[in-house]
Chains A and B, each alone.
Chain A
Amino acid sequence: MIYLDSAATSLYKPESVQTAMLDALHRMASPGRGAHAASMLAADCCFQCRDAIAALFHVPQPEQVVFTFNATHALNIAIRSLVHEGTHVLISGYEHNSVTRPLHAAGAEIHVLRTPLFRQEAFLAELEKQIEWAEVVVCTHASNVFGYVLPIQSVATLCALREIPLVIDASQSAGTLELNFSELGAAFVAMPGHKGLMGPQGTGVLLCKNDAFPLLYGGSGSDSRRETMPDFLPDRLEAGTHNVAGIAGLLAGVRYIQSIGCNTILMREKALMRRFIDGIGHEGSFCLFVSENPLQQASVLSLIPLHLDAEAFAEKLNENGVAVRAGLHCAPTAHETVGTISTGMVRFSFSPFNTEQQIDRAAEICRNNLKNT
């Protein structure tokens, strides 16, 4: 199989991830649940992971790194902490359901900034116009459908000037695009562990500037006599037993990224994407979404087959051994913004572990199937 769905989950991971997880399963118990060797080993693993993530994203203290089950869990905590019934929330037109659904559930007054694809200036201009009345801003760093990189530093500056809390969804950028938490000054940054950070499924991270409201209640291994959750991070947001094997894998993934460098990974993925674009050519009947400015697009590429249903095309690719994601990608807001809500799209996303041969073969299969429609 040629896996081109790394925007959903990184299937190809460093070997060290698997090794670390097996080691954790064999030797580690629960952190914060005792002082015996197996518990302390798990605690040490979790601390090292917090510390490594803090270093990668320039987070001042490891306590500000909270483990979650995934990015959706992290975003739910962030939104619950800041948004209440009637809170005015400004979001980009490229948000995922993991943002929009919790906002609807909280009863927020949502305003979507619908600006053209790959037009950062237009987005900033619109944001500046509308930010005055916003109480919270939620913005993705990179669209999971189009790979469109939003100007997150400028968004953060605008929010900071007006002291409006900003929540960043770094699901598609963590591990590839540079992200400096201290400089951004965001209230929260949410990310999955199983995509760009190369950890296993069931891991996620929430970077917290200050306090947050817990989503789950239960044992934390601290302040046990109190009926409420502890009032300090990370314990306040980490009720229940940790996914220690997952965190061990995540640590191995983060260390791999630190050893290679985010930019090297991004360059590799984008080179593969460019090769794929060149490989599928221009002869088929499809509409491809590519930015003229490479800096505005991460290694996520979508196309619409003009004479074939997106799901049917993805199925054809699957029959030929190419794994891609078709449909709305849990981001109807993004499709509404661009006008592709009725057709959906087929998304190709790249991993640094994809080979040139895989890319050439996948492009050839696409070309053949698109020609035949």
Chain B
Amino acid sequence: MPSSCLNNAIELPESHTHTIVQGSAKSRAPIRKHDYPEHFGQPCFVCRKGFFKLHIILVCRSLTTAQKAARILQKDGIYASVTKAPQMTNPGGCTYGVKIAETKSEAAIGILDRAGIQIVAESSTQDRQRYGERV
């Protein structure tokens, strides 16, 4: 699994580590680790540059539906957070969606489909300039 802190799109980091120099002594051991999903969406505290995370937003019809969807996904072990959806994803205007790891998208869509939750749109991970979130 690659781990770096570049302002480039990377594979979903399961962990995000740094090698740092403390005084004159060199240490190759990572002193802190960002574990996914606890630190999902948070900037790297070491380099402070942040990094791209590949995610998708499953756009729902309303905030309440997005909240329900997030809860269902969390119950099924998929980390999901409610977020405002990009304007271009919903022809009707403002709405909310659930942000999830791209790798979990297929499973998440299946779970929500079985729960009867309508997904209005999906943000495209192929087009991360539009939908990728830099944090």
Binding site for B on A (CB under 8 A): 31-32, 34-35, 40, 43-44, 46-47, 50, 61-63, 221-226, 230, 232, 234-235
Number of A-B contacts (CB under 8 A): 60
Q: How far does the Cβ of B113 sit from chain A's closest Cβ, in whole Å?
A: 16
Q: How far is it, in angstroms, between the C-alpha of A223 and the C-alpha of B63 when the chains are bound?
A: 11
Task: Let me know if B65 is at the binding interface, CB within 8 A.
Answer: yes
Query: Is A222 touching B67 in the complex (CB atoms < 8 A)?
Result: no
Q: How far is it, in angstroms, between the C-alpha of A8 and the C-alpha of B64 when the chains are bound?
A: 31
Instruction: Classify the interface of chain A: helix, strand, loop or mixed.
Output: loop
Number of interface residues of B (CB under 8 A): 17
- Given A34-B84, A40-B82, does the pair A63, B93 have CB atoms closer than 8 Å? no
Query: Is B82 touching A222 in the complex (CB atoms < 8 A)?
Result: no
Task: Tell me the chain B residues, 77-93 only, with Cβ under 8 Å from chain A.
Answer: 82-84, 90-93
Binding site for A on B (CB under 8 A): 61-65, 67-68, 82-84, 90-96
Query: Is B94 touching A35 in the complex (CB atoms < 8 A)?
Result: no
Query: Is B91 touching A232 in the complex (CB atoms < 8 A)?
Result: no
- Given A34-B84, A35-B84, does the pair A223, B92 have CB atoms closer than 8 Å? yes
Q: How far is it, in angstroms, between the C-alpha of A290 and the C-alpha of B35 when the chains are bound?
A: 65
- Given A34-B84, A222-B63, A232-B62, does the pair A62, B68 have CB atoms closer than 8 Å? yes
Query: Is B65 touching A63 in the complex (CB atoms < 8 A)?
Result: yes
Residues of B within 8 A of A32 (CB): 62-63, 96
Query: Is B68 touching A225 in the complex (CB atoms < 8 A)?
Result: no
Partner of A43, one of B63, B90, B91, B93: B63
Which A-B residue pairs are the 3 nearest by beta carbons?
A224-B93, A225-B93, A223-B92
Residues of B within 8 A of A224 (CB): 92-94
Q: How far is it, in angstroms, between the C-alpha of A47 and the C-alpha of B63 when the chains are bound?
A: 9
Query: Is B61 touching A222 in the complex (CB atoms < 8 A)?
Result: yes
